[in-house]
Amino acid sequence: QMPRGNLETVHHRALVLAQLRKWLDSLRFREAFEVMRKLRINLNLIYDHNPQVFLENVESFVTQLDSVNHINLFLTELREEDTSRSMYPRPDSSSSQAPPPPPPPPPGVTKVDVVCDALRRCLEALDTHRFCLSILTTHVKKTVPELEVALQKVHELRVNPPGAAGAVSAEEALKYLLFLVNVNELYEHSLGTYDFDLVLMVAEKSQKDPKEYLPFLNMLKSLETNYQRFTIDRHLRRFRKALQHLSKCGEERFPEALQLIKEQKLFSEALRLYPAGGAPHKALSRAYADHLMEQQQPEQAGLLLWRCGEPAEALQAFVSGSSWRNAVSAAQQIPLPPPQLALLARQLAEKLMEQRRYSEAALLLDQYAKDCEEAIAALITGALWEEALRLIHMHDRQDITETDLKPALLEACGSQVSFLEAQAVTFSRHRARLAVVRQQKLKARLELLDDEAADCVDADLFSEASSVMTNSRYSHSNSRISSRSSKNRRKAERKKFSLKEGSPLEDCALLCALSDIISTVDKMREEVHGLLKALVLFQFDGQAQKLQLAYGEALHTMEAAVPEIWQDVPQQSQAPVTGPNSTANSITASFNQQKPAAAQPDAEILTPPKMRNGVKWKLAVLQ
């Protein structure tokens, strides 16, 4: 069946386009334009056909067309679309003769703006007066219409009427503008030029009631220039400009400005307008700081307060943001008396301890609270053994080694060993259960194939198959693993799966849990290394050996188990299922193989966790 439509016309248009392309290539813009106009072919093609050639030959285009109306027609039809691709694509056979794709334009520069600016430059060079209306069009057509510039040009025509013959009068130009742009919009923009003559000129052309606009204009005229412009800008809701003008009206207008700043949240602009050191700048900084505190940005609030000479207020902001370095710096600048500084340091240290930032807490306690005992205790809590020992020696407090450090080391060692044992147990339980689940799924799939019960939903079948196993010993999930390692994102992901025996995605849940255990254990390398060194230093060789053995075994078991656990899972590094040697059967087979792993398992679950074997943690002295 033939496609519908008039074949002759289609063919005809293709011929026309081919001809047009030839004309455009040979810069015969006039012929092209005439035909396009007649046959209603989108004029954008003149540019789109070869943008670079057009831009290099704008003058030729203008002189060939030699008509303000035609140029305006071209301009008003401009849009961003590339018609050489969308409406008039080249036939495929000629694609090899196509010009290379244009380099991507710099961000924020659009085709319409490029053409408008290029044409205006050319027209202004040729004859400002003759092409006046076209020039106005180039302003109006821009992505962000330059109405004020256009209006300004109209205003100039009124002030200095051109003497040249055939030149456009202000009247005519304004009429033309009103034809292109909505009158209210034009009126507003005329106000924005702060030029009352121009405003009146537009207002008179509009159907506006003079009783409405005259009193307003007269009120404005009575104001001081900057305040007048501020009032206009505020009326036009151009608050940034409004603030700029208001800031020039002297300090007595500052309360009004501050009002505006707060209402419109123009704080950062305002900071640039009021010179640093002055009273307004300081008031502004405080207001901004209040705003930033509300926005949960206490640190930036603190910086503003501090730099405007308010270290005490800055201190409060820094404290609430746990920005402890700035807090103590500001405190010392105030200067806070030593007992209060110590109190501050303790307060900050407490917060940092909550965030597990033990070494920073210890620094505060040591250097600002002058409490080396607490500092050492913080480091011991954080398992930062070497740093604790450094402070012990620095303050010559070897007694703490006996009373605190050594017992903590032994406790840490014991708890690490038992944690590792628990992880190993959970790991092998999940691993065994995973093998069982996989076996069941395989069996269920085979039975499915046997029975050809294709209408039976897989998931139901699997849960049935595994419900047989309810009495096995693998029925309780691990509740401890996740507490230590996993990220929030993973947590959310894992919620989709349940470790409950017989749940449809139990294998995914097991993969997740196994992966988590491996990551958790792998992350302990640095901590175990530090603990082993400290144990050796204090002659706890036996305990250290036990830990080294337990950790080494845990890592070894898990690393060795990875290929088995992630065996059926397609690896990222694997070759794609399709390839030069693949057949329809092999593709189907690989597809069938992939499918049963899970409904739609995320890539992350299917990737075995990376182990950082590059991080050396073992001690030779314990081997």
Sign of CA dihedral 237, 241, 245, 248: positive
CB closer to its own copies, 193 vs 423: 423
CB of 86 to its own copies, least distance (A): 19
CB of 454 to its own copies, least distance (A): 13
User: Which three-class secondary structure state does DSSP give residue 31?
Assistant: helix
Asked if 535 contacts 612 with a C-beta cutoff of 8 angstroms, the reply is no
Distance, in Å, from the CA atom of 148 to the CA atom of 187, rounded to the nearest integer, reads 10
CB closer to its own copies, 220 vs 391: 391
Asked if 597 contacts 569 with a C-beta cutoff of 8 angstroms, the reply is yes
Distance of CA 179 to the CA centre of its chain: 42
CB closer to its own copies, 312 vs 621: 621
CB of 445 to its own copies, least distance (A): 13
Distance, in Å, from the CA atom of 191 to the CA atom of 220, rounded to the nearest integer, reads 10
Q: What is the 3-state secondary structure (H, E, C) of 488-510?
A: HHHHHHHHCCCCCCCCCCHHHHH
Half-sphere exposure of 149 (CA within 13 A, CB side): 13
Tokens of 395: 């303050």
CB closer to its own copies, 26 vs 296: 296
CB of 64 to its own copies, least distance (A): 32
CB of 329 to its own copies, least distance (A): 4
CB closer to its own copies, 5 vs 108: 108
CB of 90 to its own copies, least distance (A): 14
- Residue 214 CB contacts under 8 Å (≥ 6 apart), including other chains: none
Per the listing, tokens 């080294």 go with 548
User: Which three-class secondary structure state does DSSP give residue 474?
Assistant: coil
Distance, in Å, from the CA atom of 527 to the CA atom of 550, rounded to the nearest integer, reads 14
Does a cis peptide bond (omega within 30 degrees of 0) precede residue 335? yes
CB closer to its own copies, 63 vs 332: 332
Q: What is the 3-state secondary structure (H, E, C) of 323-345?
A: CHHHHHHHHHHCCCCHHHHHHHH
250: left (phi over 0), alpha (psi -120 to 50) or beta: left
CB closer to its own copies, 95 vs 160: 95
Helices (H), 395-505: 398-400, 406-451, 458-467, 481-484, 488-495
CB of 390 to its own copies, least distance (A): 5
CB closer to its own copies, 121 vs 325: 325
Asked if 129 contacts 162 with a C-beta cutoff of 8 angstroms, the reply is yes
CB of 509 to its own copies, least distance (A): 20
Distance, in Å, from the CA atom of 20 to the CA atom of 32, rounded to the nearest integer, reads 6
Tokens of 152: 């300004």
With vertex at residue 373, the alpha carbon angle to CA 370 and CA 377, rounded to the nearest 5 degrees, is 125
CB closer to its own copies, 300 vs 381: 300
Q: Alpha-carbon Rg of the chain, whole angstroms?
A: 39
CB closer to its own copies, 236 vs 537: 537
CB closer to its own copies, 220 vs 510: 510
CB closer to its own copies, 393 vs 523: 393
CB of 127 to its own copies, least distance (A): 37
Distance, in Å, from the CA atom of 257 to the CA atom of 3, rounded to the nearest integer, reads 68
- Residue 568 CB contacts under 8 Å (≥ 6 apart), including other chains: 438, 593, 597
Distance, in Å, from the CA atom of 474 to the CA atom of 350, rounded to the nearest integer, reads 42
